[in-house]
Amino acid sequence: MEIADQTCLVDALTAMGYGGKVEVHPAPVTLIGYDGKPRMLDNHEVRAEIVIRREHLWSAANDIGFARQPDGKYVAYISEYDRHVQPKWHERVMQEYGVAKSTTALRKEGWTVTVTREKGVAKVHGIRYR
């Protein structure tokens, strides 16, 4: 699955506990590393429109960002260190993004939707009466 819906991405991050901590910018902003300096990739600052700052993450974390690409899809900027410290973090983002996309689609079709989460599994339940 690819991330292309900004609202569902923010909803996913909120479901993961980052509500009120997700920055959404109209233009890319610079991500900051654990050392307080701009993150660099191929001699360029790493920039993204959707950002979770390092102080909202784990010890010695770098900012995590999602940058919108020309095709409208988002690419995640998660450092090697952060992938090592939290190896399942991106998988959780993808799971919660899928929940947000499903929930949004069902609600648009008139379904009443509830989501349950247990032991790392999220289930989307829909009910529609006619």
- At residue 128, the pLDDT reads 84
For residues 13 and 129, the model is more confident at 13
Average pLDDT over residues 66-92: 96
Q: Which amino acid is at 27?
A: A
Which pLDDT score is estimated for 43?
94
Decide which of 122 and 51 is more confident: 51
18-71 residue pLDDT tens: 999 999 999 999 999 999 999 999 999 999 999 999 999 999 999 999 999 999
Mean pLDDT for the chain?
95
Q: Please tell me the predicted confidence (pLDDT) of residue 129.
A: 79
Statement: residue 130 has pLDDT above 90: no
pTM of the model: 0.90
* Cross-sheet strand order for the sheet of 47-52: 22-30, 47-52, 64-68, 74-77
Task: DSSP letter for 39, please.
Answer: P
pLDDT at 120: 83
Tell the residue number behind the tokens 């509500």, with chain if given: 19
